[in-house]
Structure 1
């Protein structure tokens, strides 16, 4: 028997899409300006730690929307962290 689409997951996928793409402008701006001075290092570390917790949670409850959103958001924020560290060293 084929599984039926769960419309509640539509909200999950919508939330995943919106919260994930929200970081694209920051990543692009950081890469373009070669500066991440306005991005808090502590915020990035805390946020990335939270994303790791969401990923573990998503794995445990087998939630595709949670996993997809948080893995992609983790990648974006990890890249911002790398750029922040790289550009901080270049600007000193």
Structure 2
């Protein structure tokens, strides 16, 4: 986030309207809701987790034991079970 002077970026009529509410102070103007990126979309974290979760499910389907998955991916048993459950659900929905 960077600081911008209102008189440099706003039309004069809008600047006058804003001055009725606030003068000489910093105001934050949030992005439009539809323009906001979802969690992990900009830095690739979401994609990495999706790939990891698909790999966990693939290994599970190929016979890996829960203990092996826990040790390989450094996650709790509960987390592994949730990932497997979500991927099972997606797979069953995709075949319908």
Normalising by the smaller structure, the TM-score range is: 0.3 to 0.5
- By relative contact order (CA 8 Å, sep 6+), the higher-ranking structure is 1
- TM-score norm. by structure 1 comes to 0.33
Structure 1 or 2, whichever has the larger Rg, is 2
- TM-score norm. by structure 2 comes to 0.32
User: Comparing both structures, which one devotes a greater share of its residues to helix?
Assistant: 1
